[in-house]
Amino acid sequence: MDKIRSSNKIDLILSHYKNPQRSDLSKILLAIQAEFGSLDQDIIKKVSSFINISSTEIYGYASFYSMFYLTKPGKYKIRVCKGTACHVKGSKNIIDAIEKYIDIKAGESSKDGLFYLETVSCLGVCALAPVMMIDDKTYSRVNSMMIKTIIDDIRETENINGR
């Protein structure tokens, strides 16, 4: 049932492209990802036959860029800056602390599906290093102590809302 429903949604998105060009690939994948959160094998196969590019090539394309997710990321996306300014002010400690505290590695999602951790090269707020973002909120001058509080806060909100 679920499968049929999601298949219909994909069809709907694809129907916007009457005469699909190769250069539409990026926009199509983004639109589908916006709907489903990530691009799985079934999606890639479907897009492949629609736009007439092999699945391998689409996979190669999507896996090249950080904007596309091939597995579903956790609900909260944590992005820790690993740029130079942040690096010299100890961003590695921040990453270590998060990895330990939530028990994930950069590029992974937590088992409870709550967090996704990635590192980025510069968030453009170097003056306030070290910097991290959770979804679209920026945290500046982060230290390992703050990590515990921030994560605990999120966990608590999620518990209250009963997910």
Partner 1 sequence: MEDNKKEQLVVCSNSGCVSSGSVDVFIKLLDRVYNDPDLSDKYVVKKGGCHGFCEVGPTLIAGNDKVFYIKLTEEKIDDIIESHLKNGIIAEKYCFYDLLHKKRILFYDEIPFIAKQNRLILKDSPFYDPEDIDDYIAGGGFKALEKVLANDNQIEICRIIKDSGLRGRGGGGFHTGDKWLKQAEQISQPKYVICNGDEGDPGTYMDRSLLEGDPYRVLEGLLIAGYATMSNIGIVYTRNDYDLALSRIKSAIQKLYERGYAGNSVMGKQFSFDIKLEIAPGAYITGEETALIASLESRRGNPRVKPPYPIENGLFGNPTMVNNVETLSNIRDIILNTDAYSKFGSDESKGTKLLTLSGAVKNSGLVEMPFGITFNELINEIGGGMLKVSKLKAIQIGGSSGTILPASMIHEQISFENLKKFNASIGAGGVVVLDENTCIIELAKFYIEFSEHESCGFCVPCREGTQKILNILNRIIDGNGKIDDIEKLKNISMVMYQTSLCGLGKEASNPILGMLHYFEDELKEHIIHKKCRAGVCPKLVRYKIEKDSCIGCGACTLNCPVNAIVGTHGQYHTIDGELCIRCGQCYKVCPKDAITRS
Q: Which of residues 48-107 bind ligand FES (CB under 6 A)?
A: 81, 83-86
Kindly give, in sequence order, each residue whose CB lies less than 8 Å from that of residue 161, ignoring residues fewer than 6 positions away: none
Report how far apart the first and last C-alpha atoms of the chain are (Å, whole number): 23
Closest CA to 14 of 56, 59, 46, 54: 46
- Residue 68's binding partner among ligand FES, partner 1, none (Cβ under 5 to 8 angstroms by kind) is partner 1
Question: Contact between 122 and ligand FES (CB under 6 A)?
Answer: yes
For residue 35, what is the DSSP state?
A: H
How far from chain centre, in Å, is Cα 24? 21
Q: Which of residues 104-143 bind partner 1 (CB under 8 A)?
A: 120-129, 131, 136, 138-140, 143
Closest CA to 120 of 97, 143, 95: 95
Residues that bind ligand FES (CB under 6 A): 81, 83-86, 122-126, 129, 131
Residues that bind partner 1 (CB under 8 A): 22-26, 60-61, 64-68, 79, 82-85, 87-88, 90, 92-93, 96-97, 100-101, 120-129, 131, 136, 138-140, 143-145, 147
